[in-house]
Amino acid sequence: MEESELINQIKDQNPKAFSHLVDLYSTMVYSVIFKMIRNSQDSEDITQEVFITIWTTMDSFKGDSLLKTWIYRIAINKAHEFIRKKNRKKRKGFHVQMEETSIQIQENEPIPSELLEFKELELAFNQSLSKIPENQQIAFLLNRFEGLSYNEIAIEMKTSHSAVESLIFRAKQNLSKLMKKS
């Protein structure tokens, strides 16, 4: 099925066309979200939210970008929304009851302090990523986490190779500045 036909059928609320869209893009959406959230259950829930949003807002898709890019943006926005909500909850405080347990650390396992440092670094990176312009986020994530070449990103984002180079360069600069502040 051609993309324009798929879009029109989904706009007409055709459940079979929507099911086809889910089959085409659910793995990509889940993968993008999981890379940001790092929790399979939350990633599955957010993936479902992304497709609900697509179903309810397909009329707003104007075709200025590829369908895949539009879906990718929705996925990133939903993941950022989840991270922001999660961070607000953390600031409210929580109570953890520690039980007496004996912990044995294997030779190659990271020690708890290293895990904590990694989680803090990951959180700082995700927060920094959410602060850079959306087109920089998309280009950066498509390159770093999806492994797309600059030419493939240019096609996805309907822009030039040099524009993609610039977006990724600026994304790296902005992320570097923001990470230094964290």
Q: What is the CA radius of gyration of the chain?
A: 19
Burial class (CB in 10 A: 0-12, 13-18, 19+), 181: exposed
- Taken in order 74, 77, 81, 82, the sign of the CA dihedral is positive
Residues with Cβ within 8 Å of residue 100, at least 6 apart in sequence: none
Q: Tens digit of pLDDT per residue, the chain (182 long)?
A: 799 999 999 999 999 999 999 999 999 999 888 888 888 999 999 999 999 999 999 999 988 888 988 998 899 889 888 988 887 765 554 444 444 434 444 445 555 556 666 677 777 787 888 889 988 988 898 888 778 889 988 888 889 999 999 999 999 999 889 888 86
Domains and CATH numbers, the chain: 1-89 (1.10.1740.10), 120-182 (1.10.10.10)
Question: What is the pTM for the complete model shown?
Answer: 0.62
